[in-house]
Amino acid sequence: MTTKFIAGLSEIVGDYDLFLLDLWGVVHNGMTLYPKVADCLHELLHMNKRVVLLSNAPRPGHAVSEEILKYGVMPDLYSEIITSGDLTQAALRRRDDNWHARLGRYYFHLGPARSKSLLEGIDGEAVAIDEAEYLLVSGVFDDETEQAEDYRGFLQECVARDLPLVCANPDKIVMKGENIIPCAGAVADLYEELGGKVARHGKPYPDAYETALRHADGIALDRSIMVGDTFHTDIAGGRGVGMSTLWIAGGVHMEEVRNNDGQMDLKKASEVIANSGERPTFASFSLAW
């Protein structure tokens, strides 16, 4: 399968009824809304398309919904918002599988202060690391200055104690303005490398997409499309459940694909796709109509 490059959703909108949109790198860059997004969302609303925001934000959807108000993303522009934070909370409440059932009640939260809303509604108690029975990771403490590697020694000690790790965001990196910052997925990867046990919640895992489809009024997979900027989560996850995918090249891969005029270089973008191991159905520089 070859990827078709498109200028905007108007070229394919007739083929789909459900649009699953990633947030960071697609709708906004962590600081501002991308220029063409508002018009695109209004057009989808006008055409009665169902828009579900499917994000690996390690916070509950209601908190993220409030956050994106400052970017101008009003609640009437989308049908639902589902986050990896929601999925993490649900798994830690249900504990309906052996892995989660064995976790215990006491956890140590590793992540920035803005992710504290993740802790709401979890069946357990945040404690100091010496008392913890597992790690709950939403990122690093200071993603402006730290990387996952800075926690190698700490994580080695946790592996030695055989503490399981629950990852509330499988993304490894995300856009923040023009910068790339680390996410919980990078910490989880390092923990596994060190021999630790990890459970991840969010894209690309099927539960994220199954949850979104339950809110889609019976729209079929072949009328659904995942729009995202990250290959190993957004694109791999959409492909994994059998839906079409649209790769947004101007997200985390912006520096790799743009030319001197700030636009997408098709040759560079094609090389990035070829090296990714994925084949999105479509590709576009930005979310636009």
pLDDT tens digits, 220-236:
999 999 999 999 999 99
Can you tell me the distance from the alpha carbon of 248 to that of 276, in angstroms, rounded to the nearest whole number? 13
The segments of the chain whose pLDDT lies below 50 read none
Residues 174 and 246 in one domain: no
Using the 8-state DSSP alphabet, how is residue 113 labeled?
G
CATH number at residue 259: 3.40.50.1000
Residues 121 and 173 in one domain: yes
* pLDDT score, position 179: 72
| Residue at a domain's end among 179, 200, 221 | 200
For residue 53, the SS3 value is: strand
* pLDDT score, position 282: 98
* pLDDT score, position 175: 64
- Residue 29 maps to a domain: yes
- Write down the pTM of the prediction: 0.93
* Tally of domains within the chain: 2
- Residue 66 maps to a domain: no
* pLDDT score, position 289: 97
Strand arrangement, sheet containing 224-228: 4-5, 282-284, 244-248, 224-228, 18-21, 50-55, 80-83
Can you tell me the distance from the alpha carbon of 62 to that of 64, in angstroms, rounded to the nearest whole number? 6
Can you tell me the distance from the alpha carbon of 123 to that of 119, in angstroms, rounded to the nearest whole number? 9
152 is in which domain, residue-wise?
A: 102-200
* pLDDT score, position 286: 95
Taking Cα atoms as reference points, which of 105, 109, 99, 170 lies closest to residue 135? Answer: 109
| Residue at a domain's end among 200, 219, 236 | 200
